[in-house]
Structure 1
Amino acid sequence: MNTLVLADHDNASLGDATLATVTAAARLGDVTVLVAGANCDGAAQGAAKVAGVAKVLKADDAAYEHQLAENVAPLVAGLMDGFDAFVAPATTHGKNIAPRVAAMLDVMQISDILSVEGDRSFTRPIYAGNAIATVTSTDPKLVITVRGTAFEKADPSGGSASVEEVSSQGDAGLSSFVSQELAKSDRPELTSASIIVSGGRALKDGETFEKIIMPLADKLGAGVGASRAAVDAGFVPNDYQVGQTGKIVAPEVYIAVGISGAIQHLAGMKDSKIIIAINKDEDAPIFQVADIGLVADLFTAIPELTEKL
Structure 2
Amino acid sequence: MSKAKVNQGINLDEYKDVWIIAEQRDGKVLNIALELLGEGRKLADKLNVNLTAVLLGHNMDEAAEELIKYGADNVLKVDHELLKVYTTDGYTKVIVDLVKERKPEIVLIGATTIGRDLGPRMASRIGTGLTADCTRLEIDETDGKLLQTRPAFGGNLMATIVCPKNRPQMSTVRPGVMKKAKYNPDRNGNIENIVPNIKDEDIVAKVLEVIKSEKKEAGLIDASIVVSGGRGLGDAEGFKLIEEFAKKLGGVVGSSRAAVDNGWIDSSHQVGQTGTTVRPKLYIACGISGAIQHQAGMSESDCIIAINKNPDAPIFNIAHYSIVGDLYEIIPAIMDAIDDADSILEEI
Q: TM-score, normalised by structure 2?
A: 0.77
8 Å CA contact retained: 1:193, 1:251 = yes
Q: How far apart, in 1, do the equivalents of 2:315 and 2:273 lie?
A: 15
User: How far 1:150 sits from its partner (Å)?
Assistant: 5.0
Decide whether aligned partners of structure 1 residues 4 and 121 sit closer, same or farther in structure 2, where only a CA change above 3 A counts: closer
Residue 25 of structure 1 is matched in structure 2 by 40
Decide whether aligned partners of structure 1 residues 168 and 196 sit closer, same or farther in structure 2, where only a CA change above 3 A counts: farther
Q: Which amino acid aligns with 2:213?
A: E
Residue 160 of structure 1 is matched in structure 2 by 188
Decide whether aligned partners of structure 1 residues 166 and 204 sit closer, same or farther in structure 2, where only a CA change above 3 A counts: farther
SS of 1:96's partner is helix
Q: How far apart, in 1, do the equivalents of 2:320 and 2:123 lie?
A: 40
Residue 124 of structure 1 is matched in structure 2 by 149
Residue 237 of structure 1 is matched in structure 2 by 266
Give the percent of matched residue pairs that are identical in Structure 1 and Structure 2: 31
1:137 aligns with 2:167: no
8 Å CA contact retained: 2:308, 2:324 = yes
1:115 aligns with 2:137: yes
Q: How far apart, in 1, do the equivalents of 2:179 and 2:33 lie?
A: 11
Q: How far apart, in 1, do the equivalents of 2:128 and 2:170 lie?
A: 8
8 Å CA contact retained: 2:177, 2:277 = no
Q: How far apart, in 2, do the equivalents of 1:7 and 1:145 lie?
A: 12
Decide whether aligned partners of structure 1 residues 131 and 78 sit closer, same or farther in structure 2, where only a CA change above 3 A counts: same
Residue 55 of structure 2 is matched in structure 1 by 35
1:24-49 CA-to-partner distances (Å, cap 9, x unmatched) read 22323212222223444443342243
Moved more, 259-268 or 229-238: 229-238
Mapping of residues 218-297 of structure 1, within 5 Å: 218-297=247-326
Q: How far apart, in 2, do the equivalents of 1:291 and 1:243 lie?
A: 19
Q: TM-score, normalised by structure 1?
A: 0.86
**Alpha carbon RMSD of aligned pairs, Å?**
2.6
Q: Which amino acid aligns with 2:225?
A: I
User: How far 1:245 sits from its partner (Å)?
Assistant: 0.8
1:115-149 CA-to-partner distances (Å, cap 9, x unmatched) read 32144222413332633525353213222223455
Structure of higher CA gyration radius: 2
Gaps of 5+ in 2: 1-15, 339-348
1:154-195 CA-to-partner distances (Å, cap 9, x unmatched) read 22344333251432634622364664525446x8x3223232
Q: How far apart, in 2, do the equivalents of 1:60 and 1:157 lie?
A: 28
1:53 aligns with 2:80: no
User: How far 1:256 sits from its partner (Å)?
Assistant: 0.5
User: How far 1:103 sits from its partner (Å)?
Assistant: 0.9
Q: How far apart, in 1, do the equivalents of 2:163 and 2:98 lie?
A: 24
1:208 aligns with 2:208: no
8 Å CA contact retained: 1:44, 1:163 = no
Task: Count residues with an aligned counterpart.
Answer: 305
Gaps of 5+ in 1: none
8 Å CA contact retained: 1:244, 1:268 = yes
